[in-house]
Amino acid sequence: MKLYYSKGACSLAVRIIIHELNLKAEFISVDLHSKKTEHHLDYNQINRKGSVAALQLDNGEVLTENVAIMQYLADTNNATHLLAPTKDWKRYRTLEWLNYLTTEIHKGFSPFFNPNYPQEFRQTVMLPTLERKFQLIENHLKNNVYLMGENFTLPDAYLFVMLRWVVPVAKISFEKFPNLNRYFEALKKREAIQLSLKEENLA
Ligand SMILES: N[C@@H](CCC(=O)N[C@@H](CS)C(=O)NCC(=O)O)C(=O)O
């Protein structure tokens, strides 16, 4: 299989899960501005959405959307430690986190990546909204090591990627979020995360 990624982008979460599962994959970098792959192919022809991540299976199928790809990888590798099986209540709690991260947190960062948003709108509207959402996670992590309690699961990989954006992209200080900071620092020590960061030259 092939993972189409961009350095430090949300596709890093899928790379982390690939390494958590010790899977073999080819990693193909995409320039999100020109929409060209590192092999000079038109990425829009591979993924009509033009965004990363995209996972191309050996049968040619291309799966997009981070949360769908992560679920696919966990389910097809019987990784019930990363995502509980269907009908298990914990699965739906994990999916609840994944959905919150992708719709509320990930997309909450979009205006900070897009230079067309007015700076004042970012500061007065988007920043307080994002901080309020991080506060919810901060409170949750007061009594939980990971999002799902004692064990690392799929949404932790996703949240890790977005925590990398907190200071440089949104210019939010971790001072207000000591639990998130502790969680972020602990995740950086995880083997699959260290390997993923090294591979994207982010270490
Ligand atoms: N809904 C998609 C969004 C993915 C997304 O926003 N990817 C960003 C990088 S973090 C991207 O490729 N942006 C460039 C673009 O969409 O043209 C998902 O959750 O996977």
pLDDT tens, residue by residue, 134-170: 999 999 999 999 999 999 999 999 999 999 999 999 9
* ω into 74 cis (within 30 of 0): no
Q: Does residue 108 sit in helix, strand or coil?
A: helix
7-45 per-position pLDDT tens digit: 999 999 999 999 999 999 999 999 999 999 999 999 999
Which amino acid residue places its CA nearest to atom 12 of ligand 1?
51
34 CA from centroid of ligand 1 (Å): 14
Distance CA 187, CA 140 (A): 16
In this prediction, residue 199 carries a pLDDT of 98
2: left (phi over 0), alpha (psi -120 to 50) or beta: beta
Per-residue model confidence (pLDDT) at position 203: 86
Query: How many angstroms is it from 9 CA to the middle of ligand 1?
Result: 8
Tokens of 136: 């919810």
| Ligand 1 centroid from CA 112, angstroms | 14
Measured in Å, residue 107 CA sits from the centre of ligand 1 at 9
Question: Ligand 1 mean position to 113 CA, how many Å?
Answer: 11
Residues 137 and 155: their CA atoms lie apart, in Å, by 12
Give, for ligand 1, the residue of 42, 43, 52, 154 to mutate: max count of ligand atoms closer than 8 Å to Cβ: 52
Residue 47 CB–ligand 1 contact under 6 Å: no
pTM (two decimals): 0.98
Structure tokens at 66: 């981070």
- Residues contacting 185, CB < 8 A, separation 6+: none
